[in-house]
Amino acid sequence: MNTNNSKIIYEKAKKAIPGGVNSPVRAFQSVDKEYPIFIKSGNESRLYDEDGNEYVDMIGSWGPMILGHNYPQVLEIVKKELENGTSFGLPTKKEVELAELVKSCFPSIEKLRLTTSGTEAAMASVRLARAFTGKNKIVKFEGCYHGHSDSLLVKAGSGFLTFAHQDSNGITEGVVKDTITLPFGDFEKLKETLESEKDIACVIIEPIPANMGLIETKKEYLEKIREITKKEKVVLIFDEVISGFRISLGGAQEVFGITPDLTVLGKIIGGGYPVGGFGGKKEIMDLISPVGNVYHAGTLSGNPISVAAGIETISILKKNTEIYENINTKTENLVNQINELIKKYSIPASVNHFGSLFTIFFSKEKVDTLEKAISSNAEFYSIYFDTMLKNGIIVPPSKYEAHFVSYVHNDKDMEKFLTGVEKTFEKISEK
Element (H, E) at 161: helix 159-162
Residue of the chain from 35, 55, 62, 404 that contacts ligand PMP (CB under 6 A): 62
Angle, vertex CA 140, rays to CA 331 and CA 194, nearest 5: 125
Q: How far apart are the first and last CA of the chain?
A: 24
Q: Decide: is 211 part of the binding site for ligand PMP (CB under 6 A).
A: yes
Looking at beta carbons only, is 37 or 122 nearer to ligand PMP? Answer: 122
- Residues between 302 and 341 with contacts to ligand PMP, criterion CB under 6 A: none
Q: Which stretch binds ligand PMP (CB under 6 A): 236-244, 331-339, 355-363, 389-397?
A: 236-244
Q: Which stretch binds ligand PMP (CB under 6 A): 98-106, 115-123, 178-186, 314-322?
A: 115-123
Q: Decide: is 242 part of the binding site for ligand PMP (CB under 6 A).
A: yes
> 94, 137, 155, 267: which is the annotated catalytic residue?
267
Nearest to 247 by CA among 236, 258, 237, 234: 258
Q: Decide: is 145 part of the binding site for ligand PMP (CB under 6 A).
A: yes
- Residues between 120 and 139 with contacts to ligand PMP, criterion CB under 6 A: 122
Sign of the CA dihedral 379, 385, 389, 392? positive
C-alpha to C-alpha distances, 99 to 15, 296, 317, 420, 429, nearest whole angstrom: 41, 17, 16, 41, 51
Residues 6+ apart with CB under 8 A from 113: 121, 124, 277, 278, 279, 285, 288, 296, 301
Contact 370, 352 (CB under 8 A): no
Looking at beta carbons only, is 276 or 397 nearer to ligand PMP? Answer: 276
> 10, 35, 71, 145: which is the annotated catalytic residue?
145
Q: Which stretch binds ligand PMP (CB under 6 A): 94-102, 141-149, 167-175, 383-391?
A: 141-149
Number of residues that bind ligand PMP (CB under 6 A): 16
Residue 390's CB is within 10 A of a number of other CB atoms, namely 14
Is residue 384 part of the annotated active site? The answer reads no
Residue type, 275: V
For the CA atoms of 106, 369, 236, 188, the dihedral, rounded to the nearest 10 degrees, stands at 140
Is residue 12 part of the annotated active site? The answer reads no
- Residues between 270 and 309 with contacts to ligand PMP, criterion CB under 6 A: 276
Is residue 51 part of the annotated active site? The answer reads no
Looking at beta carbons only, is 237 or 414 nearer to ligand PMP? Answer: 237
264-289 burial, b for 16+ CB within 10 Å, e for fewer?
Answer: bbbbbbbbbbbbbbbbbbeebbebbe
Nearest to 147 by CA among 169, 129, 164, 124: 124
Distance of closest approach, residue 82 Cβ to ligand PMP, in angstroms: 22
Q: Decide: is 400 part of the binding site for ligand PMP (CB under 6 A).
A: no
Looking at beta carbons only, is 119 or 369 nearer to ligand PMP? Answer: 119
Residue of the chain from 95, 206, 254, 312 that contacts ligand PMP (CB under 6 A): 206
Distance of closest approach, residue 177 Cβ to ligand PMP, in angstroms: 23
Contact 107, 258 (CB under 8 A): no
The residues annotated with a catalytic role in the active site are: 145, 239, 267
Give the binding site for ligand PMP (CB under 6 A): 62, 117-119, 122, 145-147, 158, 206, 211, 239, 241-242, 266, 276
